[in-house]
Amino acid sequence: MSERIAFRMNLNPGQAAEYEKRHDEIFPELTQALRDAGVSDYTIWLDPEDNHLFGILTRTDDHSMDKLPDTEIMKRWWKHMADIMETHPNNVPVQVPLKRVFYQP
């Protein structure tokens, strides 16, 4: 089984093109780490009016996403992205979990 989750992040104004460029060049090791953690079908959407980013992903029931923050590749990615988005002091992006209010299978 699997579940879909969604969350919101905040992009700094004027950074949309750079954010997309960096994701076009995502570290292959990070992509593999996400797969290994049980993450698939991961998309990020941008609302250009307010710079909110919406992440949506599928994760397996036995996922290990909670271990990703401890990996060097995740820390490296967060450091790489910290200058263009809202983050905590340790470079972890500020994320707000979203509640699903509708589903159409």
Burial of 24 (0-12, 13-18, 19+ CB in 10 A): exposed
Please list the rounded mean pLDDT of every run of 10 residues in the chain (105 residues): 97 99 98 98 98 99 98 99 99 98 94
Q: Which of 23, 52, 63, 88 is catalytic?
A: 23
Q: Which helix (H) or strand (E) holds 49?
A: none
Segments making up each domain of the chain, as ranges: 2-97
- Confidence (pLDDT) at 4: 98
**88 in active site:** no
Span 2-97 CATH architecture: 2-Layer Sandwich (3.30)
- Burial track 77-102 (b if 16+ CB lie within 10 A, e otherwise): bbeebbebbebeeebebeeeeeeeee
Helix intervals (H) in 1-101: 16-24, 28-36, 72-81
- Distance CA(6)–CA(77), nearest Å, equals 20
- Where do we find the tokens 């992509």? 31
